[in-house]
Amino acid sequence: EREAGRPDPAKPLMGPPTLSAAQQEALAAIDLEFQKHEVVLLRGVTSSGKTEIYTTLIGRALERELQVLYLLPEIALTTQIIARLRQRFADRIAVFHSRMAQHERTALWMRCLGDDAPDIIVGARSAMFLPLQRLGLVIVDEEHDASYKQHDPAPRYNARDMAVVLASLHSAKVLLGSATPSMESQHNAHTGKYGHVELLVRFGDVRMPTITRVDLRDATKRKLMRGHFTSTLIDGIQGALDRREQVIVFQNRRGYVPVWQCETCGWIPECDQCDVSLTYHKHQHQLRCHYCGRHYSPPTKCDSCGSPRLRMLGFGTEKIEEELAEFFPTARIVRMDQDTTRGKHALERILTAFGQGAVDILVGTQMVTKGLDFDHVSTVGILNADLLMRFPDFRAHERAFQLMAQVAGRSGRRKNAGTVIIQAQDVNHPVLDLVVQHDVDGMYQRELEHRKAHGYPPFMRLIQLTLKHRSEERVAATASALAAALREGLGDNVLGPEIPPVSRIRDKHLRRLLIKLSRSRHQVEKDYLRDTIDRVFGDTAHSAIQLVTDVDPM
């Protein structure tokens, strides 16, 4: 017997990885940058071997008896990374994330305070709060990822930015790694605040994947669609299966169909407590609210006009999984989204099966885009690129580019260049041009101009204020009073109040304000904001309204 989570001592450890010439060059550049900067951004294209550079730096830190914190955006990634690190560092590793039982997390917390504190801690964003005694290096992998942002509950923070603060308290170094760095990190690197190192060739000189765009409008007109798949994508998947290679299909919506609708009057079933339409999940045969979690029985007739003619609109991962099973009856298909990975070991089982070749097609949401490394994936399909690019958010194009570039990077990681097929209505969108060219710098320049012209990060700081109350009139009145008070000192840098896209959650009505703070007068404006909030909410007419403050919203 051995303690759960500890490696088998009978297995021999691997020595340090053999680095390619490009990796050695990047490592030497990192060493040089660390002499001048506390934080270094490593931009390495997908499959360039960033993890080997990380393990080499970890090995060096351990030789100096320092602790290393290795942050990952998604628990899905910890499974793969830990297997690699254990081969090299055995039981010097501890894992920390929210899927662990409470007693396991407590035990690790106590262990960090004792004499046998782990040398390497791998975890999601919450691992940052462990009581580390001798921290020397923080690695933030996939630093661009939105999962590093904690939205609910408080404290609301971005683990990437907090890692920089944590490291400065310990006089430690920070390495941020990504193939598609965030605008803020790139701006800090270009302006000299961070060190900057690039690794622009894939390990083993494998070529970057070939990306093909398929026009959905044209394919529909020419009747070349089968379900939600164009014939180009179907042929690509079939070719990969014939060659005994694996396929990833990315659809950024879970569930079976997003919306049911009455054909007669257009009624759509909505949640009783939230102002949002319900998503149908076929496996459980229920309609679910993805905001408050309530579920309902599917309607048999329209609540508005009584018509029994209800149709399904749109498609989610569950629907895609079903269609693929019809087109490829002999293929082994698995879905990876929040619904299939709820159990403690469910995620691990899916990834292990896919890694061992027991799965031919993996259908998934954003989870499949995040740094996963599989040898036999040759083809990737992105089903509806337009949805990603048309999101009502100033970061929509940056996010869409990152997601598509990352999911494309899962293909062809060992021998031959992979194939990526992107289905879109607007195939000539400039963001798609940049994805096809793998042009991270072009994307940065394009976005930077827009951000500068409209006063968004990295040129301004943002603070989002969300007001909540059961009475819509009261929350609207308080939001207007707060906006008017803030405009006296901040003028046009106060946006709103506006009704958010989902205007009611858990029976509370919402109003939202967005405050822009200038970098030069940041502290003064922040103090003014705090004083104004205290003054407005000190009034008994407004004191019952709930206020949620989110600094640097993502």
> What are the pLDDT digits (tens) for 188-203?
999 999 999 999 887 7
CB 176 within 8 A of CB 39: yes
Cα–Cα distance, 161 to 144 (Å, whole number): 11
pLDDT grade for 1, boundaries at 50, 70 and 90: very low
Which amino acid is it at 292? C
Residue 391 has pLDDT above 80, yes or no: no
Beta strands in 324-483 (DSSP E): 333-336, 361-364, 377-382, 419-424, 460-469
Which amino acid is it at 9? P
pLDDT grade for 255, boundaries at 50, 70 and 90: low
Calculate mean pLDDT across residues 152-159.
90
Please write the tens of the pLDDT for every residue from 396-422. 899 999 988 888 887 765 667 789 999
pLDDT of residue 28: 96
pLDDT grade for 152, boundaries at 50, 70 and 90: confident
Cα–Cα distance, 19 to 353 (Å, whole number): 29
The more confident residue out of 233 and 292 is 233
C-alpha pair distances (Å), 338 with each of 26, 142, 368, 448: 36, 20, 12, 33
Residue 67 has pLDDT above 90, yes or no: yes
User: pTM (2 decimals)?
Assistant: 0.87
